[in-house]
Amino acid sequence: MYSLEFTVNGQLCQVAVDLKTTLLEVLRDKLFITSPKVGCNTGDCGTCSVLMNGKLVRSCITNALSAQGKEVTTIEGLAEAGELHPLQEAFHDNYGAQCGFCTPGMILASKALLDENPKPTREEAKEALSGNLCRCTGYGKIIDSVMAAAEQMAQAKS
Amino acid sequence: MAERQFFKATDPQEACDLLAQYGGKARLLAGGTDLMVAVNQRQLSPEVLVYLGDSGLNYINSESDNLVIGAATPFTDIMGSNLVREEAPLLAEVISHIASPAIRNVGTIGGNLANGSPAADSATALLALGASLKLVSKAGDRVVAVEEFFTGPGETTLEPTELIQEVIIPKKAGEAKWAYRKLGKRKAQTLSIVSVAICCPLDGGQCQGTRIALGAVAPTPILASEASALLEGKILSEGLIDESAKAAADASNPIDDVRGSAWYRRRAIEALVRQLLAQISA
């Protein structure tokens, strides 16, 4: 067993992992952070997505030891002082979630996009979310939510 | 049971030493986008992992006549590099069709190649660009052309003690006309059913050293050499394009699988080569 030390949502964590442990297993089974879901477990569906050092990754196929010393953000880390992140507000207001299983991954993929490109086109938003599958919504409302959040965040800045 | 071991290589030399020490027991880990899938599906249970994420193999350099890319460079970095966009725009385009942003953020070009998939999209691009690979081991290094690297599905010429250090792309490939198309079940996050990459240097309108690469239609990614040779020294015409497209389909050796039938793949190759050559000649 190896000791993995990394930061999750601003908090330093230390857990024992083995060679085959995934970041998703660490988050869900050791730290009880259950927003990243176990969907396909092969990196295809995107519902396990988290941010690692600000970049979108699939926690289900991320070897836990490759997260050593890094900063991981899950959806639990987005709200600040009880205030929802504008993306969370926008998904709520625009009906961007139905069953909710894909939603944490969708919002984190959207955050990765807006951090790099605060004013994306609809096409760019679709491309950024292209690896996140939703079986309920048909994606329209999800893209609407991302665009609404981008606009809201731009207004808040100006 | 022997204790499992995890090593973080700080440079390629250290990784080579570990491979020499543990031989076939050791597996290299970069982004893990292939390796961890195999682990999750219980197809693989590595005893020794050598992590390459901090091994100094993440770089994109311009070296005289070549563009040189470190094997552990993630796809996102390659795709976003101005150097790559200038010197090998075909590669940037091909990478934009690989999987999805999250996979490209960690998946590396060396990992994609070493995995040896007949459908490896970066291989199709590198074949068309005339790239080669620098392989290193404790015993020394060697450079192999990408067309000599793949030996079968999931198999490459890499020795158990060797690793890919870098990808070498001749810069002159950047001046050539090129075209690419991938057919998958959906637009993103999909494996190729068929892919074609063509690099066509034109000299006064005449094809000089065209390279037509085919993905997912043979046991390895391949070059359609005859289809390319037919074009040598000639100006692309409808008849010639037709002939070349048929020769490319003949060069393929596809199988039926979950993504498509051999019948479909052969026809798709012909159609894609025709379409891409027409695009180049336009």
Per-residue pLDDT of chain B (282 residues; tens, 9 = 90+): 457 899 999 999 999 999 999 988 999 999 999 999 999 999 999 999 999 999 999 999 999 999 999 999 999 999 999 999 999 999 999 999 999 999 999 999 999 999 999 989 999 999 999 999 999 999 999 999 999 999 999 999 999 999 999 999 999 776 799 999 999 887 777 888 999 999 999 998 999 999 999 999 999 999 999 999 999 999 999 999 999 999 999 999 999 988 899 999 999 999 999 999 999 998
Q: How many CB pairs under 8 A join A and B?
A: 84
Are the Cβ atoms of B49 and A112 closer than 8 angstroms?
no
Confidence (pLDDT) at B2: 57
- Nearest residue in B to A38, CA atom: B40
Within 10 angstroms of residue B13's Cβ, the number of other Cβ atoms is 13
Confidence (pLDDT) at B1: 47
d(CA B19, CA B167): 20
Please enumerate in sequence order all residues whose Cβ is within 8 A of that of A32, keeping only pairs 6 or more positions apart, or say none: none
pTM greater than 0.90 (yes/no): yes
Q: Is-contact B54 B6, C-beta < 8 A?
A: no
Q: Which positions in chain B touch A18 (Cβ < 8 Å)?
A: 4
**With a cut of 70, which residues of chain A have pLDDT below it?**
none
- Residue B232, classified by CB atoms within 10 Å of its CB into exposed (0-12), middle (13-18) or buried (19+), is exposed
Q: Which positions in chain A touch B55 (Cβ < 8 Å)?
A: none
Domain B177-281 sits in CATH at 3.30.390.50
Confidence (pLDDT) at B134: 98
Q: Which positions in chain A touch B10 (Cβ < 8 Å)?
A: none
Are the Cβ atoms of B100 and A130 closer than 8 angstroms?
yes
Q: How many CA atoms lie within 13 A of A89 on its CB side?
A: 13
A41 touches chain B (CB under 8 A): yes
d(CA B86, CA B177): 13
Are the Cβ atoms of B46 and A55 closer than 8 angstroms?
no
Which structural domains are found in chain A, ordered by start? 2-77 (3.10.20.30), 86-157 (1.10.150.120)
Task: Classify domain B1-175 at the CATH topology level.
Answer: 3.30.465
Are the Cβ atoms of B101 and A66 closer than 8 angstroms?
no
- Residue A136, classified by CB atoms within 10 Å of its CB into exposed (0-12), middle (13-18) or buried (19+), is middle
Please enumerate in sequence order all residues whose Cβ is within 8 A of that of A114, keeping only pairs 6 or more positions apart, or say none: A87, A120, A146, A149, A150, A153
d(CA B252, CA B248): 7
B235 touches chain A (CB under 8 A): no
Q: How many CA atoms lie within 13 A of A136 on its CB side?
A: 12
**What is chain A's percent helix, strand, coil content, to nearest 5?**
40, 20, 40
Q: Is-contact B35 B45, C-beta < 8 A?
A: no
Tally: H helices and E strands in chain B: 12, 16
Chosen for mutation from B36, B95, B103, B258 (greatest number of chain A CBs closer than 10 Å) is B36
Confidence (pLDDT) at B245: 97
Q: How many residues does chain A have?
A: 158
Within 10 angstroms of residue A68's Cβ, the number of other Cβ atoms is 18
Q: Is-contact B85 B112, C-beta < 8 A?
A: no
The domain ranges of chain B are 1-175, 177-281
Confidence (pLDDT) at B24: 84
Confidence (pLDDT) at A48: 98
Please enumerate in sequence order all residues whose Cβ is within 8 A of that of A126, keeping only pairs 6 or more positions apart, or say none: A139, A143
**What is chain B's percent helix, strand, coil content, to nearest 5?**
40, 30, 35
Are the Cβ atoms of A68 and B8 closer than 8 angstroms?
yes
